[in-house]
Amino acid sequence: MQFVSLAKAIFLLFRYGLINDAANLHPITKLLGFINIFYYTTRNQSLGERLVSYLESMGPLFIKFGQLLSTRTDLLDKSVTSELKRLTDACPPFNSAIAVSSIEKSLGTSIEAVFSSFNTTPIAAASLAQVHEAELKDGSEVVIKVLRPDIKKLVTKNIKLMKFIGFLISLLIQDSQRLQISKVLQDYENTVLNELDLKIEAANAIKTKDFFKGNELLKVPFIFQEFSSRNIIVMEKVSGIPCTEISEIHEAGLNIEQLAENGVKIFLDQVFRDNFFHADMHPGNIFVNRDASINGYVAVDYAICGSLSDQDRYFLARMLKALIEKDFKSLARLFIQAQWVNAGTDIFQLELTLTSACSDIINKPLSKIEFGKLLLELFDSTRKFGLSIQPSLVLLQKTLIHIEGMGRQIHPELDFWGIAKPYLDNWLADQYNPSLLLKHIAENKLEILEKSKKLPANIINLIENFDINLQSKQSLEKELINTNLKLERLERLGKIMIAGLLIGGSIIFVLQGPFALI
């Protein structure tokens, strides 16, 4: 059935005119665009709209991939990513009897032995799992998240199909190296496979709860580890006001301004203090705590969390500070130093580009600027300089957009910058604190000593290898030229073969009739 799925995937590339977008980027494959009769029915739709239709037709796991793509503003045009943000992976629930059987298998005993009550009607269902309410024998109200049956096999099959489609696209599109197709697919595979291990989600929730111990601003549900496993999580049932219900939030007697500001403080603490942030803060996962004395939030679903390298956190803090101060020359220098753009980038041209992207903010009060959207503009404008950032930084950008958007919905006058500037000033000052440097040395002393011990030998090897490398450079260059010529011939042959496969697969699919992706 994998061949049928592949034929369907290829046919739909024609059906939604996506093959034309790929074909027009290479002369050899333009023929594919000319023979596509479906193109004329979709040519008035944008690329983003057609890509959304394609992913929806391919099923829930492709939709989930589209959601990940919607965050990749470093690779895709914002007109495409804005359309992809419409995708939702809500799915019909699976049979409750199967859910009960899976829960009992994970528990190693019957439902009745652990729970005094169990609601067979799920309260939520998505592409990978669904959620049921229950009550433990001690009276604790809980929710149980349980994976869909055979979901791992389905995910593996779909990822193989995606990788093959990605291989075809990489041959058809000249710009495929910049798009980093194989890397994006690998990131997606890692993300989904992590989501299929619910012990990881449980550990993420426990870790976040520990970071906010004694801090009521963020409530994290308690995880009942003794009942949780790779296939199910049993956690405390929590409640709150949906963050989209603005009128209800206002009626609850909360301090609206303080509530919005606390959302920003939680974000900054997670990124800079804890270096561990909730990376899926969409409205379905974030609620407002009803307790008016706290003005805080309740967060659920810790399947996707992010963490930055120390260097990325440092550069991010300095970048935010440069934006606050509207220092675009320093901002350009930071993009190059952080290796987010090509090393040979002209700093003057980059500064002009960043200034242009930020032109709307130059004459605006800082309190009126939405930093999440501004970051989106910066990444979009610098793609022509070979923008390449870590997936965790992309997740951070997505999280920031959600947090800031939610805060401004609650309190339109939210001053993100006014809260962020003193926080970042203090955090950056702490990075040069002698006690912090001594702590770093103490924590990494063995690694530092090991590297120091090898330093003299490494210097000698470097000097010796320099002469050898200099002599072999010319012969190596000749070898590279010959290899490149051979690769170009193979690439031309590959494109002809792929064109035949695309046409043949589509014909087979049409002849066999429409099949559901299995």
What are phi and psi for residue 353, nearest 5 degrees? -65, -45
Q: How far is it, in rounded angstroms, from Cα 437 to Cα 431?
A: 8
Q: How far is it, in rounded angstroms, from Cα 54 to Cα 59?
A: 9
- End-to-end C-alpha distance for the chain, whole angstroms: 7
Structure tokens, 342? 């090509």
DSSP 76-121: S-HHHHHHHTT---B-PPPPHHHHHHHHHHHHTS-HHHHEEEE-SS
Burial class (CB in 10 A: 0-12, 13-18, 19+), 287: buried
Q: How far is it, in rounded angstroms, from Cα 289 to Cα 249?
A: 9
Is residue 141 within 8 A of residue 184, CB to CB? The reply is no
DSSP 227-256: G--SSEEEEE----EETT-HHHHHHTT--H
Would you call 430 a catalytic residue per the annotation? no
DSSP-derived letter for residue 28 is G
Structure tokens, 428? 């950056």
Triad 500, 504, 507: Cα angle to 5°:
145
Question: Which candidate in 21, 74, 187, 280 is catalytic?
Answer: 280
Q: How far is it, in rounded angstroms, from Cα 229 to Cα 225?
A: 8
Give exposure, 39-62, as e/b (b: 16+ Cβ within 10 Å). Answer: beebeeeebbbbbbbbbebbbbbb
Is residue 52 within 8 A of residue 42, CB to CB? The reply is no
Active centre residues (catalytic) = 280
